[in-house]
Structure 1
Amino acid sequence: MAVDTEASGSNSSAGDFEKESQAEPIPGKLGKESQTPAAPVPATTAPIQPPNGGIEAWLFVLAGFFIFMNSWGISSTFGAFLAHYRTELLPDKSSSTLSWIGSVQSTLVTIVGILTGPLTDRGYLRPVMIVGHFMVVFGMFTISLSTEYYQVMLAQGFCVGFGAGTINIPAFAIISSKFTTRRPFALGCASTGASIGGIIFPIMFRKLTPSVGFGWAVRSIAFVNLGVTIPTLMILCRKPGTRAPKARAVMDPRAFREPIFGTFVIALFFQFLAYYIPLFYITTYAIVKVDTTEDFGFYLLAISNAASFFGRTLPYMLGLLGLPITPIQILIFWDAVGIVLLFSWTAVSSTGGMVVWSIAWGFLSGVLVTAPAASTSHPTLSPSLDVIGARLGMSWATAAVGVLIGAPIAGALADVAKADFVNAQAFSGAVMAAAVILLVVPLVAAHKFNAKQKAEAAASS
């Protein structure tokens, strides 16, 4: 992320001082000695450390909370929309076809950051936030007027997806730039906005649709989106964003050739190939396979999103307690738990089992969506704060490919008419296993780096 503008101002002052010293020789001195420039001030070249807290930093966390509510919160609600589209609005479309709407939306939430991350690094935080929030709110209002598949795809898939993606990665980046040791916890707190959105929006949609209709149910959600947008912009647009000291390309292809970073982003691809499958199909599975009521099926999605609140925060509290646990360790451990959950999903056949499984997956999903961002901030993956925005965008862009194709593949593998989801469930468990295997490489690299840092600190003390 950007270096504080005061630093650049200090460098400029030092440069002016040197020029004045060269222009006015000291009386009584001749030759080269009289033109010797003043020594530079060492403090101006020292790296500026994030404040790791303070009022402004925690206000940014609050703004991030609202951003994730308007991005991931909307995205994680698609399971409720999918069930409605399948039975009411677009009953002539297959589950796989309808899944493309949510896949496009979720893909754009992750992939647009490849552009907006570096733009934030360059100081364009204000326009990024204004444009992104406008598209989310406008897209939600447009969904309420949609009656055809292509209209829903354009409004929900592309407009809302692009807007949410515009604000998503900058939120991770600006929070990361304000914290050091508290960074994982701060990111976890902000990302709970997605959990709150994932609880509120499905319940609003389910409760309002029978009484006021699909259009006003969606418009009510859009007004909530607008309501949280206002304080977000007030916090983040009070002053221009700070610029990084050196402009960078939107993408750095050389980063993908780094063995550690390259393996990490491929692991994220496999992880997110599986990630959205349960979130998209949990409601449909409960209604069709477990034979729950439609109301209960919709509430399962809210229950799962509620559990994600704890997954986004509790694992990172271990670091605050002084335990030597890093985000990459958290990520690989819970990915391994994910393998067990996804394969065990095939055995869920009762209402009680469905509730327990939904809570477990909800907690896990909260970990898996926050740990990658916290992990990307590690020096083995992002060498400096100035590249966090770009590296986050690149890693999420790779993950977005998995998001795009995961749910539609599952939709093609599942036979909803026969209540047969086994092939989709086995597919999701297998690709999660691939993610765990690949994550061993960055895990070992981070462990070696941390051990070296501790050894150097001990030697210098």
Structure 2
Amino acid sequence: MADNPPIDIIHSRDHDRDLEIQVSSKERRPHSTENETATGLQQEKPEDVPPDGGYGWVCVASVFWINAHTWGINSSYGVFLSHYLTNDVFPNTSPLMYAFTGGLSISCAFLIAPLATHLIHLFGTRVVLNLGVFFETLSLIGSSFVTQRWQIFLSQGVCFGLGMGFLFVGSVSITPQWFRRRRGLAMGINAAGSGLGGMMYSLAVGAIIPRLGLSWAFRILGIIAFVVNVICANLLRDRNKIVGSRYKAFPLPLLKRPEFLFFLGWGIFTLLGYVAILFSLANFAVSIGLSAHQSSIVGALLNLGQGLGRPFVGMFCDKLGHINIAAFLTFLCGLFCLLIWIFAHSMGLVSFFAVLVGAVAGTYWATVAPVLAEVIGLKDLPGGLSITWIVLVAPTTVAEPIALLLRDNNSENRVYLHVQIFTGLMYTAAAVCLWIVRGWKVGDNIRVKQEKAAAAVETDQKDGGAVPPPPQATEAGDGKRSVDRSPVHSKAALWYPHTLLRRMVAAKKV
């Protein structure tokens, strides 16, 4: 044992020798010019370090309430849908056409993402946010005066989607700029806003419509949303110039990267399942014999679960890794749909499922930005999100129509059985896609560390040093330090099946 000194002692000796090399190097070059020094400073710009707090918490609170009054209000469409279907508000309108209205608002929000990204590049974040406030207010107030079905498609579908899209795209990438160590927690709090807003407005809409009517429900939502959103939009402050964010509407080279394509697959499958749950659960409650009031409570509990669960999702992401938690909870949501939702036939069990699945169903919204930042980097995050929202237009548009077509109206107690199986399988497929990304990320982290070590060797050799750097020490699974002597791999080698599978199951924080 005495002949084998611990690794930290080896490091200290190597460190001493590195200091000697640096001193001798300085002695050999005593007359370095000021121009060389200035050039070196320009080449080695210090990396931006987010403040991890300060005014960032004001931004977190602002994005929280924006989400509550965009995605939260949109989440209450399940209550509107149940009212439309049970009262035949617009004659000769099929359930499928009503379903397209809810999906249309989400798809339009994503469809407008490239334009919103380009406008941020031209005019800044605040202009885009206030543009979103205008369109959303116009949508809700305009919906209170509609008399025909095509009007509700334009107002509650297209116009609301435009407003939600401008507000969402303008705000979603601000919080990651302010946080690093607590980024998961901050994003989880942001995402909780849509859950809290969905709970509040599902209960509010369910109570307002019977008392004041459909028109006043829209007007009240419009007034409240305008006041809150206009305040929060003007409190937000981005750090685009400091971070060096690249606001490209279509950074097409990203589509050549397999890890980004699997990331998109995670989003596509997740959204197919998420929209189906979000807009079907309230009407599912009616299909098993519950009242309209009880169905609105179920919708509120679903959003309550999202509001309570997402901050904890962010906290676990900070401790265990964003990709790890996102993949696990996505799979868990699919499992809940297959093992609990299928057997839910009472108010108690449906309510339990609504809270439980709500805590994990919206994991995508709490983790999409941090996970994408891990995959492509913070500077390319706006452009990557822009492509992501465009890709998600199709699944969000067709998810609820697919769910309605899968309903078996001839069955008494199993009307939504095919919908439940479909939703569970979609979440499972999404988890598999992200788990593949995890395997790539584990390998990529190792590759980056090895490249840095190799670069350090070259630097020492150029400076005249003859002593190689110490082997790279990594944390082993038992908490002890071990030495990684594996060769440097190329980016293509990370996708070799045997390598990928081994690292998919490796115990690493990513």
TM bracket, shorter-chain basis: 0.7 to 0.9
Q: For 1:147, what is the secondary structure of its paired residue?
A: coil
CA distance, structure 1, for counterparts of residue 163 and residue 279 of structure 2: 20
Using the TM superposition, give the Cα deviation of residue 248 of structure 1 relative to its aligned residue in structure 2, in angstroms: 5.7
Match of 1:366 among 362, 365, 379: 362
Match of 2:346 among 343, 350, 353: 350
Name the counterpart of 1:304: 302
CA distance, structure 1, for counterparts of residue 171 and residue 296 of structure 2: 29
Which residues in structure 2 correspond to 1:30-429 (within 5 Å)? 39-40=38-39, 42=41, 45-88=44-87, 89-90=89-90, 92-120=92-120, 124-236=124-236, 242=241, 249-289=248-288, 291-320=289-318, 323=319, 325-344=320-339, 345-378=341-374, 381-383=375-377, 385-416=378-409, 418-419=411-412, 420-429=415-424
TM-score (norm 1): 0.84
CA distance, structure 1, for counterparts of residue 393 and residue 147 of structure 2: 27
Structure whose alpha-carbon radius of gyration is higher: 2
Name the aligned partner's letter for residue 225 of structure 1: A
Using the TM superposition, give the Cα deviation of residue 73 of structure 1 relative to its aligned residue in structure 2, in angstroms: 0.8
Runs of 5+ consecutive residues of structure 2 not aligned to the other structure? 1-32, 454-470, 475-510
Name the aligned partner's letter for residue 129 of structure 1: L
Using the TM superposition, give the Cα deviation of residue 51 of structure 1 relative to its aligned residue in structure 2, in angstroms: 2.2
Q: Structure 1 pair 44/120, CA: closer, same or farther in 2 (3 Å)?
A: farther
Q: Structure 1 pair 240/335, CA: closer, same or farther in 2 (3 Å)?
A: closer
Using the TM superposition, give the Cα deviation of residue 346 of structure 1 relative to its aligned residue in structure 2, in angstroms: 2.0
Q: For 2:55, what is the secondary structure of its paired residue?
A: helix
CA contact (8 A) 2:196 2:307 kept: yes
CA distance, structure 2, for counterparts of residue 102 and residue 120 of structure 1: 27
CA distance, structure 1, for counterparts of residue 147 and residue 416 of structure 2: 29
Deviations 1:70-105 (A, max 9, x none): 221122111011011112223542222211000011
Using the TM superposition, give the Cα deviation of residue 445 of structure 1 relative to its aligned residue in structure 2, in angstroms: 1.7
Name the aligned partner's letter for residue 282 of structure 1: L
User: Which is worse superposed, 346-355 or 115-124?
Assistant: 115-124
Deviations 1:10-40 (A, max 9, x none): xxxxxxxxxxxxxxxxxxxxxxxx9979833
Using the TM superposition, give the Cα deviation of residue 444 of structure 1 relative to its aligned residue in structure 2, in angstroms: 0.8
Name the aligned partner's letter for residue 228 of structure 1: V
User: Which is worse superposed, 109-118 or 270-279?
Assistant: 109-118
Q: For 2:362, what is the secondary structure of its paired residue?
A: helix
CA distance, structure 1, for counterparts of residue 43 and residue 68 of structure 2: 39
CA contact (8 A) 2:274 2:362 kept: no
Deviations 1:306-360 (A, max 9, x none): 111122111222355xx3x111111111111122122232221111111111111
CA distance, structure 2, for counterparts of residue 315 and residue 240 of structure 1: 25
CA contact (8 A) 2:246 2:382 kept: no
Using the TM superposition, give the Cα deviation of residue 233 of structure 1 relative to its aligned residue in structure 2, in angstroms: 2.7
Runs of 5+ consecutive residues of structure 1 not aligned to the other structure? 1-33
Name the aligned partner's letter for residue 64 of structure 1: V
CA contact (8 A) 1:110 1:168 kept: no
Identity level (%): 22
**Paired positions, count:** 421
Q: Structure 1 pair 117/377, CA: closer, same or farther in 2 (3 Å)?
A: farther
Name the aligned partner's letter for residue 231 of structure 2: P
CA distance, structure 2, for counterparts of residue 356 and residue 246 of structure 1: 42
